[in-house]
Amino acid sequence: MSMEATAVQSAALAGSVNADMSIWGLFLQADFVVKAVMIGLLLASFWCWAIIFEKVRRIRRLRLQASQFEETFWSGGSLDDLFDRIGTRPVDPMSAVFSAAMREWRRSAGRSGRDSDGHQNLSERIDRVMQITLNRELDHLERYMTFLASVGSTAPFVGLFGTVWGIMNSFTAIAVSKNTSLAVVAPGIAEALFATALGLVAAIPAVIAYNKLSTDISRFAGHLEAFAGEFGAILSRQAEDGD
């Protein structure tokens, strides 16, 4: 082996030993593809946390608003007065379901002599408009939930891709330097494993949050459906008593 080749290998080994093994250093030293993977996973993680905080805050607020509305609804006051106070811009899903049903009720009650199809079709129309409103409100509440599910299922594989790519570069460095010392390949392997770690950092909170938020949304949906059923029965009884 010539002195020049020995000097080149020594310089490469020294550069590997002195490589910055901090998180920022691993990012700066990473390959372009591995950097792109890291940046993508970080952005996905930030966006997931933004969705999580927004959903938790919103579900908590909707529960409080629903509780306040139910307290007013079951207080024994006039439904017409409650509808007039809420107006055409309800602030929560439960009051939106109530407003949709009352709107259909007033529209039907305002017709002279009512429809010949009787109370059964009136109840069906009220149930239909409440279900449509309920589904629309739940669609708004479930917005971006698919993103959490997608990140939770794909982020580990994206990180694994960055790991495989980084390890390939490490083996390429071994072939070029013809040095099998661990100090030569350690920085590249560390960069590759860092990509996997970022994939797990993005995926684990997304999966946990998706399961928790899905359960909370399902419970809230059941609460709305129960209210819609009870309110539909109340309007049906009022229609029968009105004859």
pLDDT per residue as tens digits for the range 23-70: 566 666 667 788 888 889 999 999 999 999 999 999 999 999 999 999
Q: Would you state the pLDDT for residue 47? A: 96
Least confident piece of the model among 20-29, 31-40, 111-120, 172-181: 111-120
Q: Would you state the pLDDT for residue 140? A: 92
Report d(CA 48, CA 149) in Å as an integer: 10
Long-range pairs, 29-36, Cβ under 8 A, ≥24 = 29/187, 29/191, 30/166, 30/191, 30/194, 30/195, 31/165, 31/166, 31/169, 31/191, 33/162, 33/165, 34/162, 34/165, 34/166, 34/169, 34/191, 34/192, 34/195
| Average pLDDT for the chain | 81
pLDDT per residue as tens digits for the range 125-137: 888 999 999 999 9
- Cβ atoms of 224 and 93 within 8 Å: the answer is yes
Provide the whole-model pTM. Answer: 0.78
Indicate the residue type of 113.
G
pLDDT per residue as tens digits for the range 136-173: 999 999 999 999 999 999 999 999 988 888 888 777 77
Report d(CA 97, CA 104) in Å as an integer: 11
Q: Does 99 score more than 80 pLDDT?
A: yes
Largest CA distance in the chain: 109
Instruction: Give SS3 for 18.
Output: coil
Report d(CA 231, CA 124) in Å as an integer: 13
- Cβ atoms of 131 and 138 within 8 Å: the answer is no
Q: Would you state the pLDDT for residue 171? A: 76
Is the pLDDT higher at 58 or at 113? 58
